[in-house]
Copies of this chain bind each other. A is one copy, B any other.
Amino acid sequence: MRLSNFFLPVLKETPSEAEIISHQLMMRSGMISQSSSGIYSWLPLGLKVLKKIENIVRDEQNKAGVNEILMPTIQPADLWKESGRYDDYGKEMLRIQDRQEREMLYGPTNEEQVTDIFRRSIKSYKDLPTLLYHIQWKFRDELRPRFGVMRGREFLMKDAYSFDLDHDECKKSYYKFFISYLKTFRRMGLKAIPMAAETGPIGGDLSHEFVIISETGESDIYFDKRILSEDSKIEDVAYDNDLEQVVQQYNNYYTASDEKFDQTEFDNNVAKDQQTKSKGIEVGHIFSFGTKYSEAMKANVLTSEGKQAYVHMGSYGIGISRLVGAIIESSHDTKGIIWPNVVSPFDIGLINLKSSDEKINNICNDIYSNLLNENVDVLYDDKKDNPGVKFSKMDLIGLPLQMIIGNKTIETNEVEIKYRKSGEVKYIKVENLPNFVQEIKKSSAI
């Protein structure tokens, strides 16, 4: 993509309403534009990241054997009256009357809607387990939306639901999602810690939050340092293994959020040199809640003994739009964002330092088309801005690798390569660039 054709409205000033670094950087780098309080438009740079995260989440759900569906944003209130949550949910639920004065709502979550789909279709234990997910915009009318996309009102979430014959089968589904979440976050370059959580008003007996470590996180977390090395083997775990054993390895380590933290327990369970305190950001949450909804909404199946049984359910969420902010919180410096390669909006930034010079333009155009031919997604700054503007813009938007072409390239026949994260700089002869590109593609350096 040529920058001259790319809609990238970078801001010079940090908007005063942006309190945290990810919100500031997303506004400054033209990733989002505010529509109203807690509601954002995603501009091209931000949308590319959002889609990359969405696709990783989707791919891992598919690999875990979960079926993708898409439920509407607007739901009938009647379903929520069946479950009893219509009155309970409070003002965070955006309630709507349509032109026929029917009560509707903008879904803040989808347990009722998916249970309705299930009960219409599945009648026999033979069709269990049924695992469904969708990736859809949701709305929670937060009293004080803040922190940009980290706590917005309209937000993109992957929510999944499991339906099983009994508690033991339900636990198997729960473990499957547990593992799939660890695989998902690891693929994004994140260290996610599964922390046993309260099940709260949703009921049930199994619940974990997935929290990523970030210096600027929203809450304090305490954990045994050794849990951080556990996920190095998670990619290799196949879903037909004994997953309970893998989950148990994580549960063996002490973890606690601020509210649940107990120093004595910490000292008793974790050696001093492994005790870690950090800030964290919640990016996923999984629950198992038994027959809470299936009983209320009469979602039952015929068992092998010919009896009717209420199905056991779980729900499993990942905040996709929230992850964009969370990744920035955990990966940035004073110059701007530092994208992990797999979610970076482009692989490479190509900077033309003198687009008034025909020779330099020709070199850049050659490199640009060669990169495109190699399926490298490159952002080519072909604009007439001065070098300082170009450097700071490219650092701000945080692509992993920069290729810099200018007068020096003509003199020395060398391209300057800059790695955004380390700041490392090296020089490659123009004719060796194709080899270099092959190498970095293989090494996943982009």
Report which A residues bind B (CB closer than 8 A): 5-7, 9, 30, 33, 35-37, 39-44, 47, 50, 65, 67-76, 91-92, 94, 96, 98-100, 102, 104, 106, 113, 116-117, 120-122, 130, 132, 137, 139, 141, 143, 153-154
Protomer copies: 2
Looking at the complex, which one of B35, B94, B116, B121 makes contact with A76 (CB distance below 8 Å)?
B35
Within the assembled complex, what's the spacing in Å between the Cα atoms of A43 and B132?
Answer: 9
Looking at the complex, which one of B41, B69, B94, B102 makes contact with A71 (CB distance below 8 Å)?
B41
Beyond A35-B76, A75-B36, A102-B36, is A70–B96 a contact (Cβ under 8 Å)? no
Listed from nearest, the 8 A-B pairs whose CB atoms lie closest are A9-B121, A36-B76, A42-B70, A7-B67, A91-B99, A41-B71, A39-B72, A99-B141
* Residue contact A73 to B143, C-beta cutoff 8 Å: no
Contacts of A65 in B (CB 8 A): 5
* Residue contact A113 to B71, C-beta cutoff 8 Å: no
Given A7-B67, A9-B120; 14 other pairs, CB 8 A cutoff? A7-B69, A7-B121, A33-B121, A35-B71, A35-B113, A36-B75, A36-B102, A42-B71, A43-B69, A44-B69, A73-B137, A73-B154, A94-B98, A98-B153
* Residue contact A143 to B35, C-beta cutoff 8 Å: no
Within the assembled complex, what's the spacing in Å between the Cα atoms of A380 and B381?
Answer: 48
Contacts of A33 in B (CB 8 A): 117, 120-121
Contacts of A43 in B (CB 8 A): 69, 117
Looking at the complex, which one of B30, B72, B130 makes contact with A41 (CB distance below 8 Å)?
B72
Per DSSP, are chain A's interface residues mostly helix, strand or loop, or mixed? mixed
| Nearest CB of B to A224, in Å | 37
Contacts of A98 in B (CB 8 A): 94, 141, 153
* Residue contact A70 to B41, C-beta cutoff 8 Å: yes
| Nearest CB of B to A221, in Å | 31
Within the assembled complex, what's the spacing in Å between the Cα atoms of A118 and B306?
Answer: 63
* Residue contact B44 to A68, C-beta cutoff 8 Å: yes
Within the assembled complex, what's the spacing in Å between the Cα atoms of A316 and B428?
Answer: 45
Within the assembled complex, what's the spacing in Å between the Cα atoms of A67 and B139?
Answer: 26
| Nearest CB of B to A177, in Å | 16
Looking at the complex, which one of B36, B41, B72, B73 makes contact with A69 (CB distance below 8 Å)?
B41
Contacts of A5 in B (CB 8 A): 65, 67
Q: Which residue of B lies closest to A90 (CB)?
A: B99
Contacts of A102 in B (CB 8 A): 36-37
Contacts of A30 in B (CB 8 A): 121
Contacts of A47 in B (CB 8 A): 68-70
Q: Which of A43, A100, A130, A132 has the most C-beta atoms of chain B within 10 angstroms of its own C-beta?
A: A43
Contacts of A67 in B (CB 8 A): 5-7, 44
